[in-house]
Amino acid sequence: MAHLIRHKLTNKLTNAAHTVSNKSQAKVSGVFARLGFQAATDEEGLGFAECDDLDYDYRQGMQMDVIQGDEEGGECGLEDGDTHYQRDGTGHRPQALKTEGSLVEDKPKITSWEAGWNVTNAIQGMFVLGLPYAILHGGYLGLFLIIFAAVVCCYTGKILIACLYEENEDGIKVRVRDSYVDVANACCAPRFPALGGHVVNVAQIIELVMTCILYVVVSGNLMYNSFPGLPVSQKAWSVVATAALLPCAFLKNLKAVSKFSLLCTLAHFVINVLVIAYCLSRAREWAWEKVKFYIDVKKFPISIGIIVFSYTSQIFLPSLEGNMQKPSEFHCMMDWTHIAACVLKGLFALVAYLTWADATKEVITDNLPSAIRAVVNLFLVAKALLSYPLPFFAAVEVLEKSLFQDGGRALFPDCYGPSGQLKSWGLGLRVGLVVFTLLMAVFVPHFALLMGLTGSLTGAGLCFLLPSLFHLKLQWRNLLWHHVFFDVSIFVIGGICAISGFIHSIEGLIEAFKYNIHD
């Protein structure tokens, strides 16, 4: 009897201990679940213990995909269907890390030529129309700055991509980060793991929205100067342009507009050729004496912002490199795209300024004769309106993911229903964004000043300051002394240009409002 009682007591104590242990594990799992991590099984824990330190550090700070091991046991990982660790806890992603380049995905990869075409579209867009205005206030120094900005933006694009990679224990570089936001979060981890991402997201939203505003401003400006005899103001033309853009609020993807991308780009190159051809026809009248070595101290910082903004492409470079068939060709692609951009922008800005000298306007096509100006401007307006959906849709995506879809931590309900339909507040967000771009274009109709302000505020940050800072933070152990010198120099010069350009752009806007300057 005593033995039976002892056996029952032992069983009860064992069961109680297991119950307490299970509750403790459940509490710990609940804590990790609230943090966005999924719990691992014992078998998975053994696999994780064998992973190298690089993979461990990566799982701590970033979206934590587990490297799939090869059959020979050289690397460790999980088989298909096992739990994948992620910050947002949404389950595994259908991709794995490679040691020689980008993430393996089902979607087709692009060639280096296609990647170069995308970069060219970003840095050879409509905003080159403001470069002659930069030469007006900078002279030969403005031309030098066009070359300098190309070199620096090419370099910072490369070091930003370098921040996506880390060396494993075998000295092989693996891609452990996917985006600009991931790089920013890694730099701020472990104390503030999400701060860097928030800063980059805010900068991206500002730049994308300002790009949309500039498209509306330039549309109103071009239409007003194309038909000066009509009793329609520039603000009224901006309203007309925005009315044509309202259908953008209903976009769910860019398939409807992406087919026009190539046509718009080709049309823009044709327009540039027409402008240069007209300038060359007046080569005998070029005012070389007007190009000076001194600068307008008050206006030149605005020119810096204009030039920097015309080279911004860092936002989408991580995604572009990750989708290349041969990521090893990324550096070569960046070199020839920026060399081509530098040559074309420099020639365009110089010959346009030599043709009109001190009469150069903010949008250079406004200097053309009325007959040619109307045709060229109509093509440019069509390009601006067709280009608007791209930054608009990107800005909407960032806002929706940050405020409405942030892995269950969003401030507001999801914008989409179970079947994918857009809800009322989602439509309201999109319409509100279109209306906001209109209001800004109506009340601040100054193309060059807005372009300079945006370039100084977000362009310098995303192209100069953050890439150099992130490179120093993440790659410090692998940097040579000249890399450190370049990064520090770019950070200091970029900071000075950003602050001075921002201050002088604000002063220019205040002066424009104070004296009611329209051009």
Q: Which of 97-111, 229-243, 294-308 has the lowest mean pLDDT?
A: 97-111
pLDDT classification of 238: cutoffs 50, 70, 90: very high
Q: What is the per-residue pLDDT across 71-97, written as a single tens digit (0 to 9) for each?
A: 344 433 333 333 332 333 333 333 434
| Segment 332-386, tens digit of pLDDT | 999 999 999 999 899 999 999 999 988 898 888 888 888 888 888 888 888 888 8
Q: What is the pLDDT of residues 310-344, one digit of tens each?
A: 898 888 899 889 889 899 999 999 999 999 999 98
Residues 6 or more apart whose Cβ sits within 8 Å of residue 208: 391, 392, 394, 395, 398
Give me the pLDDT at residue 7, please: 54
Q: Does residue 141 or residue 420 have the better pLDDT?
A: 141
176: which residues sit within 8 A by CB, 6+ positions away? 54, 58, 62, 97, 164, 165, 166
| The pLDDT value given to residue 260 | 58
Lowest mean pLDDT among 69-78, 217-226, 275-284, 423-432: 69-78
pLDDT at 402: 76
What domains are there in the chain, each with its CATH number? 127-515 (1.20.1740.10)
Name, in order, each residue with C-beta under 8 angstroms of 169's C-beta and a sequence gap of 6 or more.
52, 53, 54
Please state, for a pLDDT cut of 90, what percent of the chain lies above it: 24
Q: Which residues pair with 173 in a beta bridge?
A: 167
The tokens describing 165, both together, are 């990679």
Give the least confident one: 6-15, 143-152, 187-196.
6-15
What confidence score (pLDDT) does residue 67 get?
Answer: 36
Mean pLDDT across 413-427: 71
Q: Which residue has the tokens 């239409």?
A: 223
pLDDT confidence tier of residue 395, bands split at 50, 70 and 90: confident
SS3 167: strand
Residue (of 481, 476, 268, 486) closest to 376 by Cα position: 268
pLDDT above 90 (res 266): no
Q: What pTM was computed for the model?
A: 0.71
- Dist. CA 180–CA 163, nearest whole Å: 9
Query: What does pLDDT average to over the chain?
Result: 76
pLDDT at residue 258 in the model = 58
Q: Going by C-beta distance under 8 Å and a sequence separation of 6 or more, which residues neighbour residue 249? A: 427, 430, 431, 433, 434
- Number of CB atoms found within 10 A of residue 48's CB: 17
Question: Within the chain, what is the greatest distance between any pair of CA atoms?
Answer: 120
What tens digit of pLDDT does each residue of 41-58 get?
333 333 333 333 333 343
The mean-pLDDT minimum among 8-17, 181-190, 415-424, 482-491 falls in 8-17
Q: What pLDDT is stored for residue 255 in this prediction?
A: 61
pLDDT in the model for residue 95: 41
Is 498 within 8 Å of 466 (Cβ atoms)?
no
Q: Is the per-residue pLDDT at 147 higher than 80? A: yes
Check whether 13 has a pLDDT greater than 60.
Answer: no
Question: Can you give the pLDDT at residue 162?
Answer: 94
Residue with tokens 């995303």: 462
Confidence bin at 240 (pLDDT 50/70/90)? very high
503: nearest Cα among 464, 443, 459, 449: 449
Q: Is the pLDDT of residue 6 over 90?
A: no
Residue 435 scores a pLDDT above 70: yes
What gap in Å lies between CA 52 and CA 169, rounded to an integer?
Answer: 7
Give the model confidence (pLDDT) of 168-225 as tens digits: 888 888 999 988 999 999 998 888 888 888 889 889 899 889 889 988 998 998 898 8
pLDDT band of residue 430 (cuts 50, 70, 90) is: confident
Above 80 in pLDDT, residue 423?
no
Split at pLDDT 50, 70, 90, the class of 489 is very high
